[in-house]
């Protein structure tokens, strides 16, 4: 079943950890399972490491494009827009992702440990970076990630084994950053382009169930229509109407799957005015009609 990352109104990803007292998890992303073969644009306060298991992925941190192939790895800093799309001419992209906040390693942000080992990354202008295969610390980062990936969550001691490796991973990452200053991606100044993109998408997420135009989005964010289109191309890699329809379809699919509401009520509630158009693009996206989709839940 096709899916999308669930995000809140400002694109803040709603990360739900299996154990809220241990905010860490490994996620497996099979791109063929995603709408448009895309892990859609989002952000969160947690740190993220991505490792490509097969195929190739066009990955974006803010507006920086990173080409990833099998065994490539990326670090994404806290609070950065990021997305991934299966590359053209690829049909088997799979990656695993680990996410965790600093609090899993140091519960007190006022502690000397946080100030010494985390603050320098969180408060820096570092967006993220692809791990270089030629650097010994980079090789160690990838080795630790694969060790974490190989752990069985059902085994006794799993959490302790993860914590041991996460502490080591973060220490090695700091050494890597020190080694590779010149090849790390930074954002300039206040990075107003990123904040503008968040505002645009926040508007859509807050008003998807209403009728609105691109001009109204631009006016709300206080930019021109052309700048709105440029922002979508820069960060979402698609046209505004494509993103709006995909977001509305995702909301509609969720209601079809999780409620007994009528299809007519659902498409209207999700901002679609015409049943024929809704059914057409739903089938194009999900490969089945809304009623067929409901039967698969």
| pLDDT given for residue 88 in this prediction | 92
- Distance in angstroms between the alpha carbons of the first and the last residue of the chain: 9
Element containing residue 138 per DSSP (H, E) = helix 136-150
Q: Which CATH superfamily is domain 25-186 in?
A: Regulatory protein AraC (2.60.120.280)
- Whole-number Å distance between alpha carbons of 246 and 49: 26
CA-wise closest residue to 191 among 98, 140, 124, 111:
124
- Whole-number Å distance between alpha carbons of 8 and 256: 19
Confidence band (pLDDT; 50, 70, 90) for 52?
very high
pTM tops 0.75: yes
Mean pLDDT confidence for 81-94:
94
Ramachandran class of 39: left when φ > 0, alpha when ψ lies in -120 to 50, beta otherwise:
beta
Mean pLDDT confidence for 10-39:
81
| pLDDT given for residue 12 in this prediction | 54
In 3-state terms, what secondary structure has residue 289?
A: coil
Domain boundaries, the chain: 25-186, 192-295
Comparing 25-186 with 192-295, is the CATH topology the same?
no
Residue 5 pLDDT greater than 60, yes or no: no
Confidence band (pLDDT; 50, 70, 90) for 6?
low
> pLDDT per residue over 257-285, tens digit each?
899 999 999 999 999 998 999 999 999 98
Residue 82 pLDDT greater than 60, yes or no: yes
* CB contact burial 233-257 (16+ within 10 A = b; e otherwise): eebbbbebeebbbbbbbbbbbebbe
- Whole-number Å distance between alpha carbons of 270 and 252: 6
Residue 222 pLDDT greater than 80, yes or no: yes
Domain 192-295 is of which CATH architecture? Orthogonal Bundle (1.10)
| pLDDT given for residue 4 in this prediction | 45
Mean pLDDT confidence for 160-165:
97
Mean pLDDT confidence for 33-60:
91
- Whole-number Å distance between alpha carbons of 59 and 65: 6
- Whole-number Å distance between alpha carbons of 237 and 85: 10
| pLDDT given for residue 54 in this prediction | 97
Structure tokens at 170: 């973060």
- Count of CA atoms in the C-beta half-sphere (13 A) of 107: 2
> pLDDT per residue over 192-211, tens digit each?
788 888 888 888 988 999 99
Which residues lie closer than 8 Å to 197 by C-beta, 6 or more apart? 41, 81, 231, 234, 235, 236
């Amino acid at each position: 079943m096709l899916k999308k990352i669930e995000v809140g109104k400002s694109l803040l990803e709603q990360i739900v950890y299996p154990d809220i007292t241990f905010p860490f998890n490994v996620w497996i992303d099979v791109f063929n399972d995603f709408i448009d073969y895309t892990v859609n644009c989002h952000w969160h306060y947690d740190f993220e490491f991505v490792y490509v298991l097969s195929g190739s992925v066009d990955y974006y941190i803010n507006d920086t494009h990173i080409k990833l192939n099998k065994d490539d790895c990326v670090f994404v800093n806290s609070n950065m827009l990021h997305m991934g799309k299966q590359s053209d001419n690829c049909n088997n992209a799979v990656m695993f992702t680990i996410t965790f906040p600093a609090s899993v390693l140091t519960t007190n942000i006022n502690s000397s440990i946080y100030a010494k080992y985390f603050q320098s990354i969180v408060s820096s202008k570092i967006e993220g970076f692809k791990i270089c295969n030629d650097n010994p610390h980079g090789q160690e980062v990838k080795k630790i990630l694969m060790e974490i990936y190989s752990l069985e969550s059902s085994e006794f001691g799993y959490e302790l084994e993860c914590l041991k490796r996460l502490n080591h991973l973060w220490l090695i990452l700091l050494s890597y950053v020190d080694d590779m200053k010149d090849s790390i991606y930074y954002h300039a100044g206040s990075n107003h382009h990123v904040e503008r993109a968040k505002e645009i998408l926040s508007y859509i997420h807050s008003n998807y169930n209403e009728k609105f135009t691109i001009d109204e989005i631009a006016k709300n964010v206080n930019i021109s229509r052309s700048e709105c289109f440029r922002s979508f191309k820069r960060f979402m890699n698609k046209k505004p109407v494509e993103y709006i329809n995909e977001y509305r379809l995702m909301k509609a699919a969720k209601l079809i799957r999780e409620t007994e509401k009528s299809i007519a009520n659902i498409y209207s509630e999700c901002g679609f005015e015409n049943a024929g158009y809704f059914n057409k693009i739903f089938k194009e996206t999900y490969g089945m009609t809304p009623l067929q989709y409901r039967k698969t839940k």
